[in-house]
Amino acid sequence: MILGISTSLSQFSVTLYNNGVIYCNQIQRGIEGPSICEFISHALEHVKIDIRDITNIVVDIGPGGTISVRTGVSYANGLSYSLDIPIIGISSAELIGISAYKMYSQPVAVLFKSVKSNYYCGLYNDGNIEFKYSDIRGISKYINEEFASIVLAGNEAAITNLENHLIGVNIERTNIQKVDPYILCEYSPMFISKAKKYPFLPTPINEANLIEWSQDLK
């Protein structure tokens, strides 16, 4: 049984998946409500699955809100340690990129607003993901030079800003802003092939953690 956890983008989602079957898919929008521990306990009780039946964990490591990302990753690491089972961390940018790529079969730019005037951008294309961190001009310059067409996903205001800076690029705009729990489930066997033992580190959006990525565009 694979447990999928996503807490990075203003919603908690928990999925339980095994051999192509989704046993549970629960979403809690916003931070109000039960804790992640209670939320997962309720999900397990709902489908009558013992926590010891979980053999692998897939967790969304961000980018996203610092506290929310760390909440999900910390719980996943603790559960991985207590059950002595593998864990794999997947970027929310990759998960959103997969959702958009399935719809359009074109490269996807997933944008998140970061600190000051900077943005975090995940560029997903047919199973490959690369990350850029810069202001909107730096990201648009890279896309203008490297892509003939692009699908935009993620933060709505960021997408609008980027769209206004793209020149000569065919643009498809989506309303995909959150991680799709079904994608977390459907692709979990592939993710698990990369799994390792705890601990896994989160990727919250803050300047200290992202400053090194800005070097990619210099």
**DSSP one-letter string for 77-103:** HHHHHHHT--EEEE-HHHHHHHHHHHH
- Entry pTM: 0.83
Stated as kind and residue range, the H or E segment containing 113 is: strand 108-113
Q: Which CATH class is domain 2-91+179-196?
A: alpha beta
Give dist(CA 210, CA 207) in Å, integer: 5
Percent share of the chain, pLDDT over 70: 85
Per DSSP, the three-state class of 121 is strand
Phi and psi of 57, rounded to 5°? -125, 130
CATH class name, domain 92-173: alpha beta
Break the chain into its structural domains and give their ranges.
2-91+179-196, 92-173
Contact 124, 107 (CB under 8 A): yes
Q: What is the pLDDT of residues 143-191, one digit of tens each?
A: 999 999 999 999 999 999 999 999 999 999 999 988 887 788 788 777 7
Q: Do domains 2-91+179-196 and 92-173 have the same CATH topology?
A: yes
Residue 181, pLDDT score: 78
Q: Which residues neighbour 161 within 8 Å (Cβ) at sequence distance 6 or greater?
A: 119, 136
Asked if residue 141 has pLDDT above 70, the reply is yes
Q: Please, which residues bridge with residue 149 across strands? A: 170
Q: Where are the alpha helices (DSSP H) in the chain?
A: 36-46, 66-83, 92-104, 136-146, 156-163, 181-186, 188-192, 207-210
What letter does residue 196 receive in the DSSP assignment? B
The pLDDT of residue 146? 96
Main-chain phi, psi angles of 173, to 5 degrees: -105, 130
Confidence at 210, pLDDT banded by 50, 70, 90: very low
Q: Has residue 25 got a pLDDT over 90?
A: no
Backbone Cα Rg of the chain:
17
Q: Greater confidence, 8 or 191? A: 8
Supply 72's token pair: 């999900």
In this prediction, residue 26 has a pLDDT band, given cuts at 50, 70 and 90, of confident
Question: Percent of the chain beyond pLDDT 90?
Answer: 43
Is residue 14 over pLDDT 90?
no
Structure tokens at 165: 């800076």
Q: For residue 9, give every residue at least 6 positions away whose Cβ sits within 8 Å of its Cβ, in sequence order, or none.
A: 64, 65, 68, 92, 177, 178, 179
- The tens digit of pLDDT for each residue in 119-129 reads 999 999 998 99
* Torsions phi, psi for 6 (to 5 deg): -135, 120
